[in-house]
A and B are shown apart, each in its own frame.
Chain A
Amino acid sequence: NAGVTQTPKFRVLKTGQSMTLLCAQDMNHEYMYWYRQDPGMGLRLIHYSVGEGTTAKGEVPDGYNVSRLKKQNFLLGLESAAPSQTSVYFCASRTDPTNQPQHFGDGTRLSIL
């Protein structure tokens, strides 16, 4: 019963490098979300998806892109990493209908040097 799995758990990048964070869920959930958590700021929504093939912007989308080619996977990409993107990234998913809790992965700790 894996739930939401994030890959990798840790990564260090140099400024300007690119990378993709993978989120996989095995609960057949329609909705998936990417958040970042910074000290003293709670979790902020980057992008989200309401179903396979769909994506939408959240509160802090700049510098990130996402894709949802398969229902179970939600990818977060950084095309040109910046030190300001140093953060802990969390993926979450939830089922229908509305007013269901989101289930989170254990996070990816990303450092940009």
Chain B
Amino acid sequence: DQQVKQNSPSLSVQEGRISILNCDYTNSMFDYFLWYKKYPAEGPTFLISISSIKDKNEDGRFTVFLNKSAKHLSLHIVPSQPGDSAVYFCAASGSNQGGKLIFGQGTELSVKP
């Protein structure tokens, strides 16, 4: 029973265009969502988060959208840069769950020059 799913294992985008990474969840008790970026041989690095009381959070080139009714979130990267090439994980937690994160399987983004 996968509570957080990233259905696209990989995504390829041209430099300068928009990258859209998607994530679906099943547990309605989740109220905090995060995106992490991971380069090979490194640990995941926190990118951006959103609380369930919001439907959008923006930080520079990165925007996360949350659609609670659809149990869906997405990460938009505009404009995409070659340095954005990495594996992106979405994660979710509930406020009564000790901050435990449930991760999706990850999407490998490749931004081509």
Contacts and interface: CB of A to CB of B under 8 A. Distances in A.
A42 B46 contact: no
B46 A101 contact: yes
B70 interface: no
Interface string B31-60: 010101000011111100101000000000
A74 interface: no
A43 interface: yes
A99 B101 contact: no
Interface stretch (A64-72, A78-86, A102-110): A102-110
Contacts of B32: 98-99
Contacts of B25: none
Contacts of A31: 98-99
User: How large, as a class, is the contact surface on chain B?
Assistant: 20 to 34
Nearest to B48: A101
User: How large, as a class, is the contact surface on chain A?
Assistant: 20 to 34
Nearest to B6: A42
Given A33-B100, A98-B95, A90 B43 contact: yes
A65 B5 CA distance: 28
Interface of A: 4, 31, 33, 35, 40-45, 48, 50, 56, 58, 90, 92, 94, 98-107
9 contacts: A43-B89, A43-B101, A94-B99, A98-B95, A102-B101, A104-B43, A106-B41, A106-B43, A107-B41
